[in-house]
Amino acid sequence: MHKHILFLLLLIVASTAKSDIYQPELKVEVNRVGNVYSLAAQFNSTLTKCAAYHYLTDYEAAKGLPGVVESNSVRQSSDTVMVDRVADEQVLFLRVRLRSKMEYKELPSEGISFTQLTGDSKRFEGNWHIDAHPQGSTFRFQGVWEPDTVIPLFVIDHFAKNGLKDRFGAIALLAEKNKTSWSNSCHN
């Protein structure tokens, strides 16, 4: 119960904070039917398609995102990776620790899909697709999220529509920040 109350406070605080991560070319769309949210995001990057794929499959790189404390991956097969993530969210003076275990399926040079196996949501799954363009690549995300909480959905609606732009903005910035590292993985 304490986690649900803290999560509510987190949503309120996060949704009212001014974004420092805004990306003008970033598009984020959030829709809800019942308790299930459909999420879509898209942004352009100067990474080549190959470098963009290496970024998406560098699961430990998530530690460079705000709040992510741990991101540990274990390869299960040539195209399947299990990822355990731990994130700390600051809520006023309290810190909330969130955990998830995800299964990623890799489609070389095209993108990845993922499914949450365990974690703080009833359901979270989606995919990232990469399209090449003359100046680099376009990242496209589509996902489905069903929260596991007693928080009223109108509060979550506000967070989802306002806070996710910051989250995807941070993903876009991290891609550019470490561009050289992922580009060096490509032997074109």
- Which residues span the domain enclosing 80? 2-17+27-183
**Domain tally, the chain:** 1
The 3-state DSSP class for residue 65 equals coil
Residue pair 86/92 in contact (Cβ under 8 Å)? The answer is no
- The residues pairing with 112 across neighbouring beta strands, listed in sequence order, are 106, 128
pLDDT band at 52 (very low <50, low <70, confident <90, very high): very high
pLDDT at 96 (0 to 100): 64
CATH code where residue 106 lies:
3.30.530.20
Question: In this structure, is the dihedral angle defined by the CA atoms of residues 1, 68, 81 and 103, taken in order, positive or negative?
Answer: positive
pLDDT digits (tens, 9 = 90+) for 116-128: 999 988 999 999 9
22 is a domain residue = no
What distance, in Å, lies between the first and last C-alpha atoms of the chain? 52
87 is a domain residue = yes
Q: Kindly tell me if the per-residue pLDDT of 20 is higher than 80.
A: no
